[in-house]
Amino acid sequence: MVRLENLSKRFRGRQALEPLTLEIPRGEIVGLLGHNGAGKSTTFGMILGQVHPSTGEVFVEGASVQRERARALARVGAIFETPSFYTYLSGWTNLRIFAAYSAKVDRAELEAAVRLVGMEKRIHDPVSVYSHGMRQRLALAQALVPAPSFLLLDEPTEGLDPEGIHEMRNLILRLREERGMTVLLASHLLAEVEHLCDRVAVLKMGRLLFSGRWQDTLSPRVYRIVCADMARANEVIARCGLSLVGEGTYAVPSELDPAALLEALVGARAGVTEFAPERPSLEAFYLSVSAAEGAGR
Amino acid sequence: MNAWGRQFGFELLRLFARKRTYIGFGVFLAMEVGVLLLLRVPAVQRSMRRVIEQAGYAFEDYYSGLSLAFLIIVWTLFLLGALYLALVGGDMVSKEVEEGTLRMILCRPISRARIISLKAAATVVYTVVLCVFICLSALGVGMLERGIGGMFVYAPAEQLFAMHSFAVGLERFAIAIPLIAYGLLPVSFLAFFFSCFRMKPAAATVLTLSVMFVDSVFKNIPFFEDVRHFFLTHYMGAWMLVFAPQIPWESILERVLFLAGLMGTLLVGSWLVLERRDFKS
């Protein structure tokens, strides 16, 4: 769906992004993580053709953004951290203006986008009287016309209240479910990325540190095991070669099937009350990746 | 309507929906009334009378609405016209960059060449509308003050002195309007060109005005009399030649072509500058 090939950028002698190759499969939500100045905005800019890459190219549906911009961006929508509008015009006029740069969009499609973001009542008010949250919604509405297949979201929940964050999150998931939309999301809110994204790419000082399903990298596999009869459970645990990691959490050897372990615990009548893989937070993962890179340098 | 037409319509909507677009119109109207009041001062009128009567004409016949309109335009257009055209032209790209809306547009499958063409066309429309407004309002104000009569044309800088009947004067005035707008387009295009660089809208306006000011001052220094054709303002004054007793079409055409070349160069330059720029928050 989207392919970044050997993409790099140098700004006045400073390497903002080292050669980056990344693939975003259709229908996936991929999180782009990194500290300020890591190269996230530069990457977004190059995907949208706003920043000229020093090397490499971006392909959307097989079309190069750098060489066939009109074809590549025909079904791409984007919103930025601080969306900008013509504040002296209404939200509705702004929508019509931005949509006109993509294609001829009929009224029904615009109205559907307005309904989707819940702005029906205020869409004809001037943008100057909109709150930050309303501007974010309007930004999402403009990104949805004409219907995109790839959505770039740069801090989409920035400045939103908790309800707004919840709504935005649900909306993104709905768009993926209902329209099969591919999403690249940059956010500082790691809990949000963890909740939404299938995969993450971690950038640090312009370098890609990690790309993929971060959950898959957890080794050894850690499980939380709580039983009514812990004495019996410990016998099984010892026999199977599990090692204690923390309170109630154990590392399961890679050759052992967790299902077989559960079966053994049940068979030993240990009274299993909890048996679940322990998922460390994305925050912990991000910090460990970031720190490992820092130590390596 | 095709895509370009639709986008151009929205470009104009944005331009004319902004309050600051109309500042120039209001100020010009006030300025025209101000010049008119100044022309009522007896000392000024005595001076005018002397010039007309020394040429052998009756002051009452030639100090008319058309003559006043000509004087108002000469005195106000290149002073204030350049200011407001530079203000709007300097806003065209840099204001959108500053406010972040250009980045929103550049998310769309639109080329930068298309953006330049849309904004340049909107700049042309604004320039023409402002100039037509200035000319017609000057004529209206002049007519209200002095009514119908012969036209007296006196512009020492262009070595121009002519007397026309009302009919001929009106005809020449009508021919001059498009030339006035055309002559001021380079100011808009120069501001537009500067606005494509990484600078604040005000900086683009100030730079344009600086160029125009220096050009105008140098052109009027007697030592540079023989090289007047080096200065932009010399070419911008083509419209005045329309009021000469015999219209020097060749000379007008030469100036028009020079300005066309200059504007074409500025347009290509604007596109090259915008094309090379990176847009990032």
More confident residue, B23 or B268: B268
Q: How far is CA A91 from the centre of its chain?
A: 27
A76 to B107: CB separation less than 8 angstroms, yes or no:
yes
- In a domain? residue B281: no
Question: ipTM score of the complex?
Answer: 0.88
Whether omega for the bond prior to residue A156 falls within 30 degrees of 0, making it cis, is: no
pTM for the whole structure? 0.86
pLDDT greater than 90 at residue B36 = no
Gap between the Cα atoms of A66 and A77, Å rounded: 17
State pLDDT tens for residues B213-259.
999 899 888 888 888 888 999 999 999 999 999 999 999 999 999 99
- d(CA B144, CA A98) in angstroms, rounded, equals 46
Alpha-carbon gap: B12 to the closest alpha carbon of chain A (Å): 11
Work out the minimum CA distance from B104 to partner chain A, whole angstroms.
Answer: 7
Asked if B278 and A104 come within 8 Å (Cβ–Cβ), the reply is: no
Grade residue A288 by pLDDT with cuts at 50, 70 and 90: confident
Q: How far out from the chain centre does Cα A39 lie? A: 15
Instruction: State the smallest CA–CA distance between residue B70 and chain A in angstroms.
Output: 37
Residue in B closest to A146 by C-alpha: B108
Q: How would residue A294 be classed by pLDDT, with cut points 50, 70 and 90?
A: low
Kindly state the DSSP code that residue B225 receives in the 8-state scheme.
G
> Which candidate from A11, A48, A104 shows the least CB-CB separation from B107?
A48
pLDDT digits over A107-159, tens only? Answer: 999 999 999 888 999 999 999 999 988 999 999 999 999 889 999 999 888 87
Q: Is the peptide bond before B186 cis (omega within 30 degrees of 0)?
A: no
Mean confidence (pLDDT) of chain A: 89
Question: Hey, how many other C-beta atoms are within 10 angstroms of the C-beta on A153?
Answer: 26
Confidence at residue B243, expressed as pLDDT on a 0 to 100 scale: 95
Percentage above 90 pLDDT, chain B: 67
- Which amino acid, one-letter code, is at B125? V
Res A220: pLDDT: 57
Q: What is the mean pLDDT of residues A8-23?
A: 92
Q: How many helices (H) and strands (E) does chain A have?
A: 10, 14
| Tens of pLDDT, residues B109-161 | 999 999 999 999 999 999 999 999 999 999 999 999 888 999 999 888 778 88
Which among A216, A188, A182 is positioned nearest to A202, based on CA atoms? A188
Q: For residue A161, what pLDDT is reported?
A: 82
Q: Alpha-carbon distance A217 to A199, whole Å? A: 12
The structural architecture, per CATH, of the domain A2-215 is 3-Layer(aba) Sandwich (3.40)
In three-state secondary structure terms, A101 is coil
Nearest Cα residue to A24 out of A52, A60, A70, A50: A60
Query: Which residues of chain A are at the B interface, by a Cβ-Cβ cutoff of 8 Å?
Result: 11, 41-42, 45, 48-52, 69-74, 76-78, 80-86, 88-89, 93, 96-98, 100-104, 142-143, 152
The total of structural domains in chain B comes to 1
- Give CA–CA dist B242/B171, Å, rounded: 10
- pLDDT at position B75 over 90: no
Domain enclosing residue B36, as ranges:
3-276
- Chain A residue with CA closest to B102: the answer is A84
- Search chain A and give the residue with CA nearest B280: A45
CB contact (8 A) between residue A73 and residue B107? yes
